[in-house]
Structure 1
């Protein structure tokens, strides 16, 4: 004969708190999946935007060969690393064939007469190299991962708070139930209870 539990598909030993915990855990898994999907969307959008911005920057950057007109020297570094950099006076021609001279970062062993690659802007001034594909990809991955992490952390904090609330309610209910069972189980009297009271 087929055995049926009192509640269809339910476990008679499963309390409402257990079902709430199970629902919260399933909700956390769903929220984490949604956060991952949102992170992928943010990463794709960041990749598209960063690539478009890199292409815009690259359209205004030009690579030229500059000629060192002096010896390289070390200069104290700036920024986060603070490493010293080698600089040397160099000269170059821009896209309009105008001659420019400035001190720019160069490889450490650069000597007078050596040629060094240099990125310039439309005005012929030294400029940073346009972002490459690796830099763009790392930026997109970082943004996507950050968005996913924020979503997952928020979901985890919410579910954790709700689980602590369920645990507190269970502990209070257990204390109330234990107060009614413990005197009979242990044989001790409750305050205000006489020896003949039940």
Structure 2
């Protein structure tokens, strides 16, 4: 109980805020799972424990997902560096006619591919192979090409920030999945316990409510 001696609007507001804070703390204390009150059902205690564990899991998921994202970023940096080691950008010269190869992408959309024999220089040697070209080209045309340390055609190096994007994506995925799992646990537990409580109340009501026409004086 709080008492205001000299009335002022600011003082009254302060007392109200303190009372509300104390009331919230008191309500939280009353719903503790180990409350000896016989009015608190076992299902209520279980639901409170599950919600408390979910809150802890949500809080713990933040640093855990950050750590996992950091590990993923470190691994991506090492992997990308190993994959891109020795790659070189060269100009390849087409030595034959371009061939059109009808193909479909993973979505089933028709998309033509073009290939042609080409030659390029690597470590003082001439390397020849059939490569993909961006479109119809005449023999003798020059096309850009990425090659690996062995001189054979290779994929282009990873874009700057690819490792960071992978690390952030992994961390966010772990965080969202953890939060969704915590929310699902609370919802499933609450739904199951509510159904159990309703079923119990219905049985008790049937026991208390006498069938019509069978009342006795």
TM norm. shorter chain > 0.5: yes
- TM-score, with length taken from structure 1: 0.72
For structure 2, the 5+ residue unaligned runs are 3-22, 32-36
- Alpha-carbon displacement from aligned partner over 1:149-177 (angstroms, at most 9, x marks no partner): 43234323332332133213311332244
Query: Could you give the per-residue CA deviations for residues 81-105 of structure 1, whole angstroms, max 9, x where no partner exists?
Result: 56322222211011x2110111111
In structure 2, do the counterparts of structure 1 residues 135 and 110 end up closer, same or farther at CA, with 3 Å as the change threshold?
Answer: farther
Corresponding residue for 2:10?
none
Question: What is the TM-score when the length of structure 2 is the normalising length?
Answer: 0.67
Residues 92 and 141 of structure 1: CA distance in aligned 2, closer, same or farther (over 3 Å): same
Task: Tell me by how many angstroms 1:195 deviates.
Answer: 0.5
- Structure 1 residue aligned with 2:78: 52
User: Does structure 1 residue 38 correspond to structure 2 residue 72?
Assistant: no
Q: What is the alpha-carbon distance in structure 2 between the residues aligned to residue 78 and residue 104 of structure 1?
A: 18
Label 1:69 to 1:79 Cα distance change in 2 as closer, same or farther (>3 A). Answer: same
In the other structure, the counterpart of 2:177 is 150
Q: Residue 161 in 1 paired to residue 188 in 2?
A: yes
Question: 1: CA distance between counterparts of 2:93 and 2:83?
Answer: 25
| Cα RMSD (Å) | 3.4
- Which residue is equivalent to 1:89? 117
CA distance in 2, matches of 1:40, 1:79: 36
Q: Which is worse superposed, 119-128 or 152-161?
A: 152-161
Structure-1 residue corresponding to 2:145: 118
The aligned residue for residue 14 of structure 2 is none
Q: Give the aligned partner of residue 195 of structure 1.
A: 216
Q: Secondary structure at the match of 2:92?
A: strand
In structure 2, the residue matched to 1:67 is: 93
Runs of 4 or more, structure 1, over 6 Å off, are: none
Unaligned runs of 5+ in 1: none
Q: Which has the higher contact order (CA 8 A, sep 6+)?
A: 1
Q: What SS does the aligned partner of 1:48 have?
A: helix
The residue that corresponds to 2:126 in the other structure is: 99
Whole-Å Cα distance in 2 between the matches of residues 79 and 134 of structure 1?
A: 27
CA contact (8 A) 2:85 2:149 kept: no
Residue 155 of structure 2: SS of its match in structure 1? Answer: coil
The equivalences for 1:132-147 within 5 A come to 132-147=159-174
Greater alpha carbon shift after TM alignment, 139-148 vs 46-55: 139-148
Do 1:54 and 1:132's aligned partners in 2 also have CA atoms closer than 8 Å?
no
Aligned residue-pair number: 185
